[in-house]
């Protein structure tokens, strides 16, 4: 479930000059409660399309609760849009 939530949430934008070459993510558990994920660390590498130069690996911590919240909002939005289409 956590893997699906993370993949649905992540969108990496590097600008026009860079192309995404690789990305990955790791989960970090809550030290007090085993098997409870608290955050996700996303890492990625971009390559300049003209020079081939690699952009520095970036790491960003995202709380799992924000991922779940964003995905829940997206599900609600899709459900409401479906209701509008059905009503028309």
Per residue in 56-75, pLDDT (tens digit) is 666 777 777 777 788 788 88
Phi, psi of 63 (to 5 degrees): -75, 140
- Give Cα separations from 18 to 9, 10, 61 (angstroms): 21, 17, 22
| Three-state secondary structure call for residue 3 | helix
Residue 54: how many other CB atoms lie within 10 Å: 13
Q: Cα separation of 12 and 32, whole Å? A: 31
Name the pLDDT band for 1 (thresholds 50, 70, 90): very low
- Whether pLDDT at 3 is above 60: no
Calculate what percentage of the chain has a pLDDT beyond 90.
1
- Whether pLDDT at 2 is above 70: no
Provide the whole-model pTM.
0.51
Q: Cα separation of 30 and 53, whole Å? A: 37
């Amino acid at each position: 479930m956590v893997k699906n939530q993370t993949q649905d949430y992540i969108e990496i934008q590097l600008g026009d000059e860079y192309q995404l070459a690789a990305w990955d993510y790791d989960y970090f558990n809550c030290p007090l409660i085993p098997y409870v994920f608290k955050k996700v660390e996303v890492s990625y590498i971009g390559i300049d399309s003209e020079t081939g130069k690699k952009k520095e690996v970036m790491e960003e911590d995202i709380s799992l609760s924000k991922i779940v919240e964003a995905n829940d909002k997206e599900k609600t939005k899709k459900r409401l849009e479906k209701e509008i289409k059905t009503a028309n």
